[in-house]
Amino acid sequence: MNVKDHYENHLGSFYSWMLGDFETRQKEQEDFFTKNCIFPKSNKVAMDLGAGNGIQSVSLAKLGFSVKAIDFASQFTNEIVNHSAGLDIEVLNGDFTDQVYFLKYAPELIVCMGDTITHLDSTDHIDLLLKNASRYSRDNAVFVVSFRDLTRELTYEQRFIPVRADDNRILTCFLEYFHDFVKVTDILHERINHEWVQKVSCYRKLRLNTEMLRNLFARNNFHLMDVEIIKGMNYLIFRKK
């Protein structure tokens, strides 16, 4: 199953539950941006690529950005609308790699977070995204990426990863490793009418590491400014030369 189908038919229905309390996660992201001095400096436009349920979009809007929140899943864009009352957030349903968004908005800030960049089809697809970002973004634009490094292969029972559980849901991920991608199977057990029902779907994630992304960004005129690992996620901040 491709990524879009996986989100629309499976993961999208419990994604926000998987992430946990929205206000807590949103405040964590806002603190990250604040700590790294990510504030509006020119036209105030920030593009949130693969915005999900709006954790980053809301955080950036609260810091004064005019946010363009882009996602292909309508259930996510609907959630962002619900979270964005009184905030300068424009919600867009579409493919964030399309150059039309960069051409129209010329952002001073681009964020692609929560492992979203690993959902692209290939490193060539990432390269195309970065070409558009470099060509149409403002001078000194900042690009923030967060992702999980899947280049180290887990083995045997390590490949089963408990994600979250409560009285009515249990989510586990199973990983299968291939040369340049990992097949991720999301296994949800959900209590429905007092019975446990299993729902399963899978999709691919690219196997990326910091050096690979550093090279891709450098090729497109973005210089790595900072690297940080937070709760197993790699956070990279780039600036356009």
Q: What is the pLDDT of residues 126-137, one digit of tens each?
A: 999 999 999 999
**Cβ neighbours of residue 148 closer than 8 Å, sequence gap 6 or more:** 115, 118, 232, 233, 234
> What is the mean pLDDT of the segment spanning 50-72?
96
Cα–Cα distances (Å) from 26 to 17, 124, 190, in that order, read 14, 31, 26
Query: In the predicted model, is pLDDT for residue 159 greater than 80?
Result: yes
Q: What is the pLDDT of residue 241?
A: 87
> What is the mean pLDDT of the segment spanning 70-77?
85
Query: In the predicted model, is pLDDT for residue 1 greater than 70?
Result: no
Query: In the predicted model, is pLDDT for residue 181 greater than 90?
Result: yes
Instruction: Give the class (CATH, top level) of 156-205.
Output: mainly beta
Residue 157 in tokens: 């029972």
pTM for the predicted model, two decimal places: 0.94
Query: In the predicted model, is pLDDT for residue 144 greater than 90?
Result: yes
Mean pLDDT taken over the chain? 94
User: CA-CA distance, 17 to 168, in Å (whole number)?
Assistant: 11
Residue with token string 């905030």 = 87
User: CA-CA distance, 220 to 48, in Å (whole number)?
Assistant: 19
Looking at domain 3-150+209-240, its CATH architecture is 3-Layer(aba) Sandwich (3.40)
Provide the residue ranges of all domains of the chain, joining segments of one domain with +. 3-150+209-240, 156-205
Q: What is the pLDDT of residue 59?
A: 98
